[in-house]
Structure 1
């Protein structure tokens, strides 16, 4: 099993607390996800995120194919970071850490994603041809939506 890494940073001219309030609300995930994924949260959401919280989603990663996804918030330290991990879904492994750091221009948000696919050696081909390009497209869309919402800042994607 090969572990892939996606690291993405974006700076927003807002406070860390404002960033936390937006990104820690799972209802906002659909707002920053490309419409072609048809993502919807299917579980009730509490007023505030907490460790142990389970969130269920429905999405269509490929036209005509609906997928259920269950993530657990395994760690959360307001307003510094939170981690969501897949419990059931399209990946063999998914660990996504969201960090919020104050910087001179506002707040730097960093997404650090580690993921793995099944399918043995075929998984590397699937990642190269389908998964990695789709994740890059999702994060490009997210950057565009967030720039419009909070104002343009700097950003730097890194895939490996």
Structure 2
């Protein structure tokens, strides 16, 4: 039963305020998620900005187009610096996603650390090697492109 981390960094040519306003709004999640994931927020009356304790529910189709309920809680938020979301209901035994932003010369550095544990013990570890890790890379590759489309590429 494996425990894994996936890390990604991206430089963005925008201000810390612009990037924070974008990433801290639950409404923008769909924009940075590939269409094939069938990502739909099912929570009603979400506020414009996340806050600690906020619960967000989704339907996603991460594998073979099979709809899966995913519920995350925003557990920590430090304005214009970071937030953490943790799975409460969903496909993983453990999902802990840290989102960091910090000003750098010419823009913002955005970093993600996803700590996760697939379900099903050794079978989950095999699935991580064959599918899950590649799927996470693909999803975050898409997100890099979506953020570049929104803010431009860092030069």
Q: Quick one: distance in 2 between partners of 1:153 and 1:125? A: 36
Look up the match of 1:71.
72
* 3-state SS of 2:21 partner: helix
TM-score, length basis structure 1: 0.93
* 3-state SS of 2:70 partner: strand
* 3-state SS of 2:99 partner: strand
The Cα shift of 1:64 comes to 3.6
C-alpha RMSD of the superposition? 1.1
Look up the match of 2:9.
9
Q: Which moved more, 1:78-87 or 1:119-128?
A: 119-128
Structure 2, gaps ≥5 residues long: none
Q: Quick one: distance in 2 between partners of 1:92 and 1:113? A: 13
* 3-state SS of 2:96 partner: strand
TM-score, length basis structure 2: 0.96
Look up the match of 1:115.
116
Does the Cα contact within 8 Å between 2:12 and 2:107 map onto a contact in 1?
yes
User: 1:49-60 residue pairs with structure 2 within 5 A?
Assistant: 49-60=50-61
Q: Quick one: distance in 2 between partners of 1:95 and 1:123? A: 17
The Cα shift of 1:153 comes to 2.3
The Cα shift of 1:131 comes to 0.6
Does the Cα contact within 8 Å between 2:37 and 2:65 map onto a contact in 1?
no
Tell me which protein shows more strand as a share of its residues. Answer: 1
* 3-state SS of 2:62 partner: strand
* 3-state SS of 1:62 partner: coil
The Cα shift of 1:48 comes to 2.1
* 3-state SS of 2:67 partner: strand
Structure 1, gaps ≥5 residues long: 155-160
Look up the match of 1:86.
87
Q: 4+ residue runs of structure 1 moved beyond 3 angstroms?
A: none
